[in-house]
A = this chain, B = another copy of it.
């Protein structure tokens, strides 16, 4: 079915705002029509979706393909990682560009190269790891010329990616002026460092030391800090990988007070608990090492609950995979285990099973948290994240009565382990269409390196609506400056 014309018949078409039984007609990678009983000619490939859900392909807001980190490089590159994504119903991802020697431009060029082999669409966030006038100017270039509309700041990874409050404040101000979204990895890096030393002193060198060295209180701290500094600057904030009740409650509190804060749980935090890190097999334990760490049981359910009611808004993966050999670099010291878990392929299934099958959310909500809200936040809706006439033809067909089972043996990622190994559930992505082409059908991938396009993401997403009015309102309310005299005393 390499035809450029495609009709999906009889399915329940689900958008975040509405669902209805309708046909979807696609031409040249674009959705042309969404309505009942579309008639087409013989040159059109027809997919029967009766009894199934036709939904926007997933968008993963948080991945690290081909990421050079902790002395090694993630084994899923822009081809293998994306292939895995497509097999799991995700048709776009947004990856984090890391500056090269502090240069944003060099970092961007490096990722442009990495992404050449892409088989699905992708966008970029950019990390900010130092601060000077050059960085500030490069941020402007990235936004105005390169299609980047978000910058990430690390409050952890002391000595490496971590930045100070002073830099964070400058970064928040710059983001605000550019209409770019500030993102944070929220853990207190100084305390994590302290916690790591403490574990080593206690003789705890295995993966369980990873969890013990950076407990949820440190994620809560940094989340609280980032939120309040963003409030002080009055700019929107996006908290990546919300892993704990501590962090979630800070977000809930800020939102209750009207602050524009986005919270992104990731699949591992939603469906796993930390117990795997205590596994006596190092290979098993090490595969769960990511930061912030997967938390004790209880955090998962609380994050699901907050996600179900919109306290948290969208689901990412932080997909960043290192194989067993790479993970074994830290065999004697958990601090050296490359951080990262898989998820780009499993996200759509696990979120369906955990959230929809459990009765916590509706199918429309599912579309919202896996696709639409991401597209809205990164300002590419309704090109992405919708089944509407004019939208890109990134579409999945999910059969709610079929089942899935996850296994490291037959997943499509290049890594040799899978943190979700053995998980099964209801709901199966039977067809994935990316850019109008069927790339996954009958459990077979048909992907082409280079077929993926870079998606430029414009600045000033909806979270920026009203920010200048709010600033003006604030200024008009402070009754300052006061005209003064000085009494004699």
- Are A489 and B324 within 8 A (Cβ)? yes
Most B Cβ at <10 Å: residue of A225, A258, A282, A325: A258
- Are B164 and A278 within 8 A (Cβ)? no
A 204-248 contacts with B by CB, 8 A: 204-209, 212, 215, 217-218, 220-221, 224-225, 228-229, 231-232, 248
User: CA separation between A188 and B165, bound complex, in Å?
Assistant: 9
A 384-434 contacts with B by CB, 8 A: 416-417
- Are A255 and B191 within 8 A (Cβ)? no
- Are A220 and B228 within 8 A (Cβ)? yes
User: CA separation between A283 and B278, bound complex, in Å?
Assistant: 37
Chain-B contact segment, one of A90-98, A101-109, A359-367: A359-367
Chain-B contact segment, one of A42-50, A136-144, A466-474: A466-474
Residue of B nearest to A249 (CB): B256
User: CA separation between A184 and B462, bound complex, in Å?
Assistant: 33
Which residues of the other chain, B, contact A489 by a CB distance below 8 angstroms? 283, 324-325, 416-417
Is residue A450 within 8 Å, beta carbon to beta carbon, of the partner chain? no
Which residues of the other chain, B, contact A16 by a CB distance below 8 angstroms? 17
The one of B203, B462, B473, B480 in contact with A212, judged by C-beta atoms closer than 8 angstroms, is B480
Which residues of the other chain, B, contact A2 by a CB distance below 8 angstroms? none
- Are A256 and B311 within 8 A (Cβ)? yes
User: CA separation between A249 and B249, bound complex, in Å?
Assistant: 13
- Are A208 and B481 within 8 A (Cβ)? yes
Is residue A331 within 8 Å, beta carbon to beta carbon, of the partner chain? yes
Interface 1/0s, chain A 153-171, versus B by CB < 8 A?
Answer: 0000000000011100100
Is residue A131 within 8 Å, beta carbon to beta carbon, of the partner chain? no
Which residues of the other chain, B, contact A229 by a CB distance below 8 angstroms? 188, 191, 221
- Are A481 and B356 within 8 A (Cβ)? no
- Are A359 and B194 within 8 A (Cβ)? no
The bracket for how many chain A residues form the interface is: 35 or more
User: CA separation between A203 and B475, bound complex, in Å?
Assistant: 12
- A234 CB to closest chain B CB (Å) equals 9
- Are A466 and B360 within 8 A (Cβ)? yes
- Asked if A206 meets B328 with Cβ closer than 8 Å, knowing A258-B308, A308-B258, the reply is no
Is residue A15 within 8 Å, beta carbon to beta carbon, of the partner chain? yes
Interface 1/0s, chain A 267-283, versus B by CB < 8 A?
Answer: 00000000000111111
Which residues of the other chain, B, contact A358 by a CB distance below 8 angstroms? 466, 469-470, 473
Chain-B contact segment, one of A80-88, A116-124, A298-306, A340-348: A298-306
Interface 1/0s, chain A 256-270, versus B by CB < 8 A?
Answer: 111110000000000
- Are B280 and A484 within 8 A (Cβ)? yes
A 305-364 contacts with B by CB, 8 A: 305-306, 308-311, 324-325, 328, 331, 356-364
Is residue A284 within 8 Å, beta carbon to beta carbon, of the partner chain? yes
The one of B173, B190, B232, B308 in contact with A165, judged by C-beta atoms closer than 8 angstroms, is B190
- Are A232 and B359 within 8 A (Cβ)? no
- Are B231 and A484 within 8 A (Cβ)? no
- Asked if A217 meets B228 with Cβ closer than 8 Å, knowing A258-B360, A466-B362, the reply is yes
- A475 CB to closest chain B CB (Å) equals 7
User: CA separation between A485 and B206, bound complex, in Å?
Assistant: 11
User: CA separation between A165 and B195, bound complex, in Å?
Assistant: 13
Residues of chain A having any CB pair with chain B under 8 Å: 15-18, 164-166, 169, 173, 188, 190-191, 193-195, 202-209, 212, 215, 217-218, 220-221, 224-225, 228-229, 231-232, 248-249, 252, 255-260, 278-285, 298, 302, 304-306, 308-311, 324-325, 328, 331, 356-365, 372, 381-382, 416-417, 462, 465-473, 475, 478-487, 489
**What are 24 A-B pairs with beta-carbon distances under 8 A?**
A18-B382, A169-B194, A188-B228, A206-B481, A206-B482, A207-B482, A208-B480, A218-B228, A221-B225, A224-B225, A249-B256, A252-B252, A256-B305, A257-B305, A260-B309, A278-B480, A281-B484, A282-B487, A331-B486, A359-B468, A359-B472, A360-B470, A362-B462, A417-B489
Q: A164-B190, A356-B466 are in contact. List 19 more A-B contacts (CB 8 A).
A: A17-B17, A166-B193, A173-B194, A202-B481, A204-B480, A206-B481, A209-B481, A221-B225, A225-B225, A256-B306, A256-B311, A258-B360, A282-B486, A285-B482, A285-B484, A359-B466, A359-B470, A361-B466, A365-B465
